[in-house]
Structure 1
């Protein structure tokens, strides 16, 4: 027998407006996963959108992707794996990897249709979302849903697809998707599971573990001895501990500056830029730096030894120029920091009139140039194919893997 939910008895609570749509389960683990099954599962081999025979080509591109440090999970191949992906992997695939990897493989009409979902989701994951942004996202998502039945013979217009029509309304009322998604709750579920170390009385284990954690956090605040307080803070921060050993510089923090080796030589172009910016290029006045921190981001250089599987040295500047940083230099007296880098030449968006967050580039010149560190904004996600380099900016500075 059906009956009304007890939630309807709450004053000032309206089920139709106060229950929000979770994009983690609805889009990432719902629509996106279903689309991938249509594209790659052999049972759809006779369909025009089937690209399962080209999955190795897609995996070849995926294998070359070096995500920045804030995308914690390295991309895994699709063949035999995507059903086991985590939600954060689907998020990275949706926003950054999929369109460059599928271009020239997925038929254009399906790729363009899929880009509607990508751009609409990206807009709703932003921070300063304007009314114009909301109208565009709503148009993109409604167009995506309207054409699902036309393009895909197997109907996937279920609840998850229908909810896309109402997603913009939820964002207008409650803020960006990341503000109320299930990612943070799923993450805390993982923290709770870490409290369980045996099969007996799990509830008591969780209770006492969380009590101990709160006690240590309180001790870290109350402790007056610096060394002991740092110890308590380290215990509570765990793997997310902040970077240690940084030195203040002009509008950034630098890590482990070192003397420039005698074998190190500036190119003539770099010498001219250093003179223009700081008045000197004498190596005695400079120190070399491998990474800096700015705008809440770590910005690495290609000199770092741990850049084999990561690319956190391709940086967007405040004027939207993209640069690949070879190394950083700090001027000893003024504490000004510059990046010795190569600039990328923009080629336009990945798909015409769409996806402003996914732009294509090529190296402008093999010759190095110098830019001031205060002009660097944030690392970008880079996907390289045979013909071009695709750089994707992140939608917000809040949500992380």
Structure 2
């Protein structure tokens, strides 16, 4: 949170938008990137607490906004709006954090590879931004891979969970008198309530499913079923396209991107997704890693045929952005 998002990512954006910098964006690029951030934010799903804001509001950005820019929006918004050297240098940072934040990417690429990318990022920083760029935060990136080797993916040792929980703790305080005692008592009460109500199926279960918002709009399979607009599966919330366009895309175990048209439950309680798959997949970037390795695709040609998919075949949720005459799909990393 502090080193990567509020540290280096914020520093890069300040340099690109600053008044006196060799890497400053042109006024046209500034406007283009700002408009792109705001436009793409309409595609951000419900799992994100904040949507992106214009670069003119950069001073008010929160850590989650810098994180979203680094992992998802940045590669799209900067494309064609900054010099190639700056863009590829940013991709070094983007790809290294993509690896270190995800357990499945750590297992796939290995921590040493991410360390190599970060070393290249820091080394090239001086050439692009000058010696003054190499502050303590930038140097500390060289040790980020060591933390992952010791503690696991970055979210295991991040301040984000603690910051996110603060608002909950504040809500437990009803008066200024003895706030710590109030919090302690409320947490004890919540702990006992959760323990008493705990059953074998909870949101922490690997295949937890919960459907909401019954409807009768179709399409339906050739068996008796109930229809729903929303599905809670693992850490994700999926919706049918007619209900929420930003939440209707998923990635299957086979690596295919589906657009969800309906969610149904059969008489035995099995949950299925009816949707259409994208048929053409290309890389978005190939330096320093082929984007397909991160399940980041340029996709097009949505099938006309609706297919039936068991919810357990869903690998993750996707963010899908419009891009030129195609679409860009990013698999969610932080769940």
TM-score of the alignment, normalized to the shorter chain, above 0.5:
yes
Residues 172, 186 of structure 2: 8 Å contact kept = no
Q: Secondary structure at the match of 1:392?
A: strand
User: 1:222 Cα deviation (Å)?
Assistant: 7.1
* 1:182 alignment counterpart: 159
* 2:316 alignment counterpart: 378
* 1:118 alignment counterpart: 94
CA–CA distance in structure 2, aligned partners of residues 336 and 132 of structure 1: 33
Q: Does 1:60 align with 2:35?
A: yes
CA–CA distance in structure 1, aligned partners of residues 254 and 125 of structure 2: 38
CA–CA distance in structure 2, aligned partners of residues 394 and 115 of structure 1: 17
CA–CA distance in structure 2, aligned partners of residues 130 and 57 of structure 1: 37
Residues 212, 228 of structure 2: 8 Å contact kept = yes
* 1:206 alignment counterpart: 179
Q: Does 1:365 align with 2:302?
A: yes
Of the three residues 248, 255, 260, the one matched with 2:212 is 255
CA–CA distance in structure 1, aligned partners of residues 15 and 227 of structure 2: 51
Counterparts of residues 1-400 of structure 1 (less than 5 Å): 24-44=1-21, 47-65=22-40, 66-79=43-56, 81-128=57-104, 129-130=106-107, 132-153=109-130, 155-195=132-172, 202=176, 204-220=177-193, 252-258=209-215, 260=216, 274=221, 281=222, 285-304=224-243, 307=244, 311-332=246-267, 335=270, 337-354=272-289, 355=291, 356-357=293-294, 359-365=296-302, 367-373=304-310, 374-397=312-335
User: 1:73 Cα deviation (Å)?
Assistant: 0.9
Q: Secondary structure at the match of 1:363?
A: strand
Q: Secondary structure at the match of 2:132?
A: coil
CA–CA distance in structure 2, aligned partners of residues 265 and 133 of structure 1: 43
CA–CA distance in structure 1, aligned partners of residues 64 and 14 of structure 2: 18
Q: Which stretches in structure 2 are left out of the alignment for 5+ residues?
A: none
The count of aligned residue pairs is 323
Shift of the 369–86 alpha-carbon distance from structure 1 to 2, 3 Å rule, reads: same
Greater relative contact order structure (CA < 8 Å, 6+ sep) = 1
Using structure 2 for the length normalisation, give the TM-score. 0.85
Structure number with higher strand proportion: 2
Q: Secondary structure at the match of 1:165?
A: helix
CA–CA distance in structure 1, aligned partners of residues 165 and 307 of structure 2: 43
CA–CA distance in structure 1, aligned partners of residues 108 and 265 of structure 2: 43
User: 1:208 Cα deviation (Å)?
Assistant: 3.2
User: 1:316 Cα deviation (Å)?
Assistant: 0.5
User: 1:155 Cα deviation (Å)?
Assistant: 2.2
Q: Secondary structure at the match of 2:315?
A: strand
CA–CA distance in structure 2, aligned partners of residues 137 and 292 of structure 1: 34
CA–CA distance in structure 2, aligned partners of residues 216 and 316 of structure 1: 39
* 1:17 alignment counterpart: none
Deviations 1:328-380 (A, max 9, x none): 23344674523132425211133445243262323323513213123222211
Shift of the 358–116 alpha-carbon distance from structure 1 to 2, 3 Å rule, reads: farther
Shift of the 135–82 alpha-carbon distance from structure 1 to 2, 3 Å rule, reads: same
Shift of the 218–320 alpha-carbon distance from structure 1 to 2, 3 Å rule, reads: closer
User: 1:93 Cα deviation (Å)?
Assistant: 0.7
Shift of the 252–265 alpha-carbon distance from structure 1 to 2, 3 Å rule, reads: closer
CA–CA distance in structure 1, aligned partners of residues 194 and 228 of structure 2: 33
Residues 148, 155 of structure 1: 8 Å contact kept = no
Using structure 1 for the length normalisation, give the TM-score. 0.72
Pick the structure with greater CA Rg.
1
CA–CA distance in structure 2, aligned partners of residues 191 and 265 of structure 1: 40
Q: Which stretches in structure 1 are left out of the alignment for 5+ residues?
A: 1-23, 224-228, 231-241, 244-249, 267-273, 275-280
**Range 369-378 or range 160-169, more displaced:** 369-378
CA–CA distance in structure 1, aligned partners of residues 19 and 172 of structure 2: 42
